[in-house]
Amino acid sequence: MKKTLLATSMVLASLLHAEQIQSIKYINLSSVSTSIANDTLDLQVGDQLDIKKINKAIKEFYRFGYFDDIQVTNEKGNLELVFTEKPIIASIDMIGYKTREEDKKNIFKAMRLAKGNMFTTEKVKQAKKDLLDLLEKEGFVNSVVEVDVENINENSVALVFNVNKGLEILIKEVNYHGAENLDAGDFEEVTANNEEDYFSWWFGQDNGEAKLDQLEYDVFRIQDQYFQKGYLDAKVKDPFMKVDFATNKASLDYFITEGQQYSITDIKIYLDSTILDPETLYSELKLQKDRVFNLEKLRKDVKFIKTQVADLGYAFTQVKHDLKKNIENGTVDVIFNVIPGKKVYINDVLISGNGRTLDRVIRRNVYLAPGDLFNLTDFDDSKKKLKRLGFFSDVSIEQKRVSEDKMDLIVKVEEDATGTIVLGGGYGSYDGMLITVKVNEKNVFGSGKSVGASVDTSEKRHNYKLSYTDPAINDSVYNMTVEIHNAEDEYDYSSPDYTLDKIRNGFSVSLGREIFRDAYIGSTYRLDFIEEKYTDDSSTDGDNIKVNGDGPSGNDYYKVDEDYVSSSITPYINYNSTDDFYFPRSGIKAGTSLEFAGVGGDSKYLKSKSYFKYYHGLEDSWDWDAVLRYRAQVNLLEDNGKLTQGDSFYLGGTKTVRGYKSYAFGPDGKNNSDIVYKQMFANSIELSMPLIPKSKMRWGVFYDYGMIGKDSFSDIKRAGTGAMLEWISPFGPMQFIFAQPVDDKPGDKTSSFEFSLGGSF
């Protein structure tokens, strides 16, 4: 730059003799606007040429960091500034570290590099240093990074960071000095740096890799564990890590002062009773008198109190808490001070980030609209509902205060791919291997409507479906689903020894609506063309199966292949308030339906199905990560003119009474006049307890009881009990069930072990 300035100064010294500027041109200038360039030059047409101002301007232009060279020429007062701009970074890639594009994007962001940035050797040098720092923080020592710079053209370059990761530091030992009342198991659930487990290759086990950037946060995580157990005076010093660089193995030491454990003597809530009576809140608090203090419960109580007040419109409610410790007695008083502020109304709802999804699709899933009184539950539920749509990778709703009593809601979304192809599988002891293929587009043309196709096939069942769903017909509260299906179910009977294949081809149309939050009501019309085929595994007479002496009055009869039509209407109502899809810890699932068959078809019956599931976590009340679960189902069937064995209910298996095989109790084909079981009840109670929390493995015990009959619930009564192993694996929920029948009878089809992949309670 100095040479350029010197040459420019010599030229100007010889050319500029108090000439008047006739024109000013900027050549090859794109990174700075003309107005900024004029302000920097500080000269205009009509001014006298001033070499000092031009030299000063050149220095200022260089400070922008956009230029490799600047030349100034003058021809009879026509001034030209010719710029050579630095090249643009056209592409960035990284080899040898991080393969997912999203991970690379985050790394480049941390390196302060992005496509479109100006390229400078200083910037790349700093980015290389930042990358090495990131590698070291993740536990990679002596890493090497080389940067390849490819000139695409004179204006752009491509960067490739070639990473040779150094060896990782493996933590072989972690010591918690001073920890007497808590042990390593309490800390390993929350800390990032843990010693290597024996089976480190197993899902959820710790591989011992050091994460140096997390060490300082692990101190607070350990301290937080003590606060959750009531040790309010606990202190954790900065850890000491000793590394043997010859082997890259390390030991990690924490030094802890536990202090005493505090229990709660009193809880007070100070709140204006004209807004909300504080007495109505005490019974719902997680913290309780005469119980050990728990910081996590305190946080939940703060959120609960704030929600109750904010649901009344006080959007900017503050809940401040104070802890008054009595060190001598080891007790603490908890005080909540609630500052409501003023009621707040929604001024406007603004939406951004939706390049594809229509505004109205987002707006109809937000429970708050302009003019509404603010409600925190509606606010939180809106975020949850938008996330459940599956259209967005991220959803945030910001509150922007525009006055003392008004706010704007700013909905920001990041759109995600909505077309999916799912390949899955499962295994059941009755159905055998299950293969699932699903193709689905959840947001057709940004409308929120979905189309899909699915195949579920196993040894006993084959189901094929095409579906179309409109979750809000013309943006109303009504929804619709149309489905075309083909299904084949196989039923095995051992007395006599034959198989029934039931093939259904048809379609269904469902119309429904949400009647209140988490509750839906609707009706389904279904038309099926059904074909029943019987196969004898012992002896046959043509296509029919001979059953000797078991017909009416002891006569022989034949099982005859049959084709018929089933046309039905099924009104339903469903409710689901659970907190998780795979492993709920709280909430209820319930539903009931009543199928009317005989609307123009051959089958004529009424079929009622009802279910209830309840989930209750014991952690808040007992400080124990156990979940109590209960389920019950009641099914009723009334013959209005035509029933087949395929319409019957069955008892036994993982969904009804464990300890017995699937379909253990139901029609067995021996009686021609009474072949359908019309009443069934089953219920189960389970207790699920932690086994290996890091691996999401649990164990539990259960008791099942069920009844089934042709005209009465009490024809057959059976019970089963046992233990189970649960694992929320990367492939889906798995269960290993070890069952024992209770009060079983001779000839019962019992089962002591069941394995299921893909099912849930």
Quick: pLDDT tens for 671-703.
443 568 999 999 999 999 988 876 788 999 999
The neighbouring-strand residues paired with 423 are 437
What average pLDDT does range 268-286 have in this prediction? 94
Of 510, 455, 511, which is closest to residue 488 (Cα–Cα)? 455
Mean pLDDT is highest, among 45-49, 295-299, 662-666, for 295-299
Taking the CA of residue 129 as centre, how many other CA atoms within 13 Å lie in the half-sphere pointing to its CB? 6
pLDDT exceeds 50 at position 536:
yes
Backbone torsions φ then ψ of 686, nearest 5 degrees: -135, 150
What average pLDDT does range 410-423 have in this prediction? 80
d(CA 521, CA 392): 27
Residue 357 in tokens: 């999804």
User: Would you state the pLDDT for residue 634?
Assistant: 97
Strands 478-494 and 167-168: unpaired
pLDDT higher for 265 or 446? Answer: 265
Query: What structural domains and CATH numbers belong to the chain?
Result: 2-85 (3.10.20.310), 88-164 (3.10.20.310), 169-257 (3.10.20.310), 263-339 (3.10.20.310), 345-415 (3.10.20.310), 421-757 (2.40.160.50)
pLDDT exceeds 90 at position 280:
yes
Environment class of 75 (CB within 10 Å of its CB; exposed 0-12, middle 13-18, buried 19+): exposed
Quick: pLDDT tens for 323-367.
999 999 999 999 999 999 999 999 999 999 888 899 999 999 899
Mean pLDDT is highest, among 24-28, 95-99, 194-198, 495-499, for 24-28
Q: Is the pTM of this model over 0.75?
A: no
d(CA 739, CA 751): 7
What is the average pLDDT score of the chain? 85
Using DSSP's 3-state secondary structure scheme, residue 226 falls into helix
- The three-state (H, E, C) secondary structure of 543-576, written as one string: CEEEECCCCHHHCCEEECCEEEEEEEEEEEEEEE
pLDDT exceeds 80 at position 555:
no
d(CA 374, CA 455): 45
Residue 629 · residue 614 · CB < 8 Å = yes
Weakest mean pLDDT among 215-219, 420-424, 667-671, 743-747: 667-671
Residue 364 · residue 475 · CB < 8 Å = yes
pLDDT exceeds 50 at position 670:
no
pLDDT exceeds 70 at position 55:
yes
How large is the angle between the packed helices 295-310 and 215-228, nearest 10 degrees?
80
Strands 419-428 and 432-441: antiparallel
Angle at 228 between CA 224 and CA 229, to 5 degrees: 120
pLDDT classification of 314: cutoffs 50, 70, 90:
very high
pLDDT exceeds 60 at position 1:
no
